[in-house]
Structure 1
């Protein structure tokens, strides 16, 4: 599905998504990635949902964001509370959603000028 934004001012925005891919600023990505308005982290993790580790969440917790979104792919799945400890310690909000919802929510929050990051599981 293509997403249309009014204006992005050169910041990272999702322009499309589908099975196994997202497009950021018109560039297609098919690996797990983390996205912030001014930064893109390809291969944020090599894990699948089942193999996510505390280290994956430590990286998300270290990002300059007040709220972190986790896109779990086509299906909404919630990670184990043990994995979320780095985000709790860093006092970061976390919202878990499927990939399409994570892309749309990121675009809205980014457009509002919020400090947001999203980690997407595409594999």
Structure 2
């Protein structure tokens, strides 16, 4: 018995690679926030070192049940103080590298969950 639709109505992360992600086949080469309810905007942080508390306050205002933080090419965890606004409203936060965050977002969005992917899209250091 089939219980889930084959295609989700939410935006989908269709591909990713070093220094880019694709949303519904549109290539994006900068950090981006993507929500399963149609939210989408560029996130003003070029790399992990540029992140701060204000970036996570911005995510808290979205009212999602879960934030998936894609920390770039490798997994790095945000400072606990940055997560206070999210913890105060009992919003879950999962941290993983950006490639894993893309896959996880697609699964949860296709289930109809109100999920937000905050993806660091870092330019490769080796110039590729």
Q: Which residue of 2 aligns with 1:3?
A: none
Deviations 1:69-112 (A, max 9, x none): 00011100111111111111121000000011100000000000
CA distance in 1 between partners of 2:100 and 2:45 (Å): 22
Across the aligned residues of Structure 1 and Structure 2, the Cα RMSD in angstroms comes to 1.1
Gaps of 5+ in 1: 1-5
> Shift of residue 47 of structure 1?
4.7
Deviations 1:18-72 (A, max 9, x none): 0010000010001111000212112x22252122111100011111310000001
Larger radius of gyration: 2
1:16 maps to 15
Q: How does 1:62-77 map to 2 (within 5 A)?
A: 62-77=61-76
Q: Which segments of 5 or more consecutive residues in structure 2 lack a partner in the other structure?
A: 1-5, 123-128
TM-score, with length taken from structure 2: 0.86
Question: What pairs with 1:80-99 in structure 2 (closer than 5 Å)?
Answer: 80-99=79-98
* TM-score, normalising length: structure 1: 0.89
Aligned length: 116
Distance 1:102 1:46 in 2: 17
